Amino acid sequence: MVFIGFGFLMVFLKTHSWTSVGYNFLISAYALQLSIIIVGVWHSYLVEGEFHKISLNIPSLIIGDFGAAAVLISFGALLGKCSLFQLWLLATMEIIFYGLNEAIGAGLLQAVDMGGSMYVHTFGAYFGCAASYFFQNRKAIADVKNRCGGSYESQLIAMIGTLFLWMYWPSFNGALASGSQQQRVIVNTVMAISSSCVCAVGVSRILFQRIDMEVLLNATLAGGVAVGSASDLVVTAGISMVIGGAAGLVSAFGFIRLSAFLRDKAGLHDTCGVHNLHGLPGIMGGVIGAISASFADASFGDNTAIAETFPAIGEGRTTSE
């Protein structure tokens, strides 16, 4: 997902294709390494109260991938507007605050976010949107040389990235889950992302009488973001499909209507539309995750499964808390 999915999704810019996938490759490798260190340090000091040697194992590598994903989401808002050195510095700064945010939310508050809707997608999207104001946003909005768009060939190649992201999103959401929890995550994610694909393309077809390429490349993935926080909590396929369908609709309308509005009224130039694919569905995911957690007692009906999903239950907290 990180190296092929995000990398090839970003080649849609017709004059930035090689640079996009090259920057993605290098920055991903760097962010993966840095995330393991920074997240480990924050957890040592804030959560565990003392520093200890950071372990290298499969979970720590997955944590590194999550950090790299957050950086690449931010990169999407800045695509074509910053140099490699600027992106390198920005990635370093982002990982520091990404690790702090994750340590507070997942470590201190123990808020469950299995698929990273809050800690990865929402954080990465709004960090990137905020940073975009400092990278020639007025020049990018003017687009005098007509570079902020794709060609037939570049968008066709970008579909490789979309298909990789779509196929592997269930494994992304369920990477840190185990046992029956992992099964719930994968089933819920597959149902949600399937629905977002159908609904997003449906909106494009109804409004334009054709499939809009921007919607097809991006909004079809929104279900995986929106169901992330609740992916191990929702136990009914129908609910997962509703979540995914709603995310597809919201994301599609974001690309079709909201992006232009924010560009004209707020001066926001978001090259890849990360606000519509990761920001808005990420907020949906956080809200849905909170609602799902509060109803977990009734949904699960199994104390073992609840304790597995919510470690803080062992400390005397309730699912609503």
pLDDT exceeding 90 applies to what percent of the chain? 67
Tokens of 187: 């089933």
pLDDT of 303: 64
pLDDT of 295: 80
CB 218 within 8 A of CB 166: no
Judge whether 235 lies within some domain: yes
pLDDT of 299: 65
Average pLDDT over residues 53-68: 93
pLDDT tens sequence across 286-302: 999 998 888 877 666 66
Burial class (CB in 10 A: 0-12, 13-18, 19+), 70: buried
pLDDT of 128: 96
Average pLDDT over residues 303-311: 72
pLDDT tens sequence across 83-128: 999 999 999 999 999 999 999 999 998 888 989 999 999 999 999 9
Q: Write out the residue range of the structural domain in which residue 310 sits.
A: 2-315
Average pLDDT over residues 42-70: 92
Judge whether 294 lies within some domain: yes
Residue listed under structure tokens 């993966």: 32
DSSP line for 260-293: HHHHHHH----TT-HIIIIIHHHHHHHHHHHHHH
**Banded pLDDT at 316 (limits 50, 70, 90):** confident
How far is the C-alpha of 243 from the C-alpha of 181, rounded, in Å?
19
pLDDT of 17: 87
Phi, psi for residue 108 in degrees, rounded to 5:
-75, -50
pLDDT of 269: 92
pLDDT of 319: 77
CA distance between the termini of the chain: 33
Tokens of 13: 């810019």
Asked whether residue 145 carries a pLDDT value surpassing 90, the answer given is no
pLDDT tens sequence across 146-177: 777 788 888 999 999 999 999 999 999 999 88
Judge whether 321 lies within some domain: no
Residue listed under structure tokens 């334009």: 208
Burial class (CB in 10 A: 0-12, 13-18, 19+), 179: exposed
Q: What is the 3-state composition of the chain as percent helix, strand, coil, each rounded to the nearest 5?
A: 75, 0, 25
pLDDT tens sequence across 169-225: 999 999 988 878 889 899 999 999 999 999 999 999 999 999 999 999 999 999 999
Judge whether 320 lies within some domain: no
Of the candidates 304, 287, 306, the one whose C-alpha atom is nearest the C-alpha of residue 296 is 306
Judge whether 215 lies within some domain: yes
For residue 248, what is the domain's CATH number?
1.10.3430.10
pLDDT of 122: 96
Average pLDDT over residues 27-48: 94
Judge whether 68 lies within some domain: yes
How far is the C-alpha of 41 from the C-alpha of 321, rounded, in Å?
27
**How many domains in the chain?**
1
Give the residue, 314 or 247, on which the prediction is more confident: 247
Judge whether 120 lies within some domain: yes
Asked whether residue 23 carries a pLDDT value surpassing 70, the answer given is yes
Residue listed under structure tokens 């369920």: 174
Asked whether residue 11 carries a pLDDT value surpassing 70, the answer given is yes
